[in-house]
Structure 1
Amino acid sequence: MQRIANLLAIQDGKVLLLQKPRRGWFVAPGGKMEIGESIYEAAIREFEEETNTTPKNVHLKGIYTMLIKRGDEVVDEWMLYTFIAHGIEGTPFEETREGKLGWYTIEDLREIPMAEGDRTNLLFAALNKGMQYGTFEYTEQFELISETIQTSIEQ
């Protein structure tokens, strides 16, 4: 099972997103965890590598199981850990081999092209307190089959 950590930076009411060249979909910067790395370390390392900036005030916002299915058969599974940061230090790259970086309004998350599970978890991360947990099932073409979501807020 692959483990992925991503990080959504929020600054001045906007979010920093990476537009991937393959599908043109937008994502929060992130990537695969390395052996022995914590989810926190992975999120920060991947964010710094992909953006050329340092995230500030980093917090975990969601933990998700992602399933890729062919009919009823699960052909791939990974865990996604979504973090947020309130602010960054430095100037982001404009473009890298990973894609184009840009600032977008939080409301843009509702409309821009992205995996529907990403839309669910990034909107939650940007707009809500607490934690979100969930399972997303996709076809091999990344069409959303189903999502199951739970949330918790510490009192």
Structure 2
Amino acid sequence: MPSTAPQLYAGVILRRSLAYLVDVLVIAILGICLGFALSIAGALTFGLLSPIAVIILSLWPIAYHSYFLASRGATPGMRLFDLELRDWSGKNVAPLQAVLATILFYVTVALTAWLILLVVLFTDRSRALHDILAGTLVVRRHP
């Protein structure tokens, strides 16, 4: 059970930060490609698809994180740094829980200008506020 195995949390804060930077880079590169494709579609439809394109591009980061967390338990950045997201009992997160964790992350970060992420420095198991609210843990895959 992850809640009782301290070795699962060794170095999680640094790994988690670096994993997020990798994911931001992937999101940006794929987002640019998506934006280019949507701009072509918008031009071909004389701007009719432009409002939909704006919605798609704004939801793109949420879709990226939710998909990988729900289907694989970790984003590519998290996998690179040997991390995964689990529920409190140690099981894989449910799809709805992955979406909830992602939305809570973006909402809390947007409302506090990233300051809320300092919570990981003061909680056991290095949990952020969105982890606590969603009932999740970020742990090492192979401690």
**TM-score clears 0.5:** no
Greater share of strand residues, 1 or 2?
1
Greater share of helix residues, 1 or 2?
2
TM-score by length of 2: 0.28
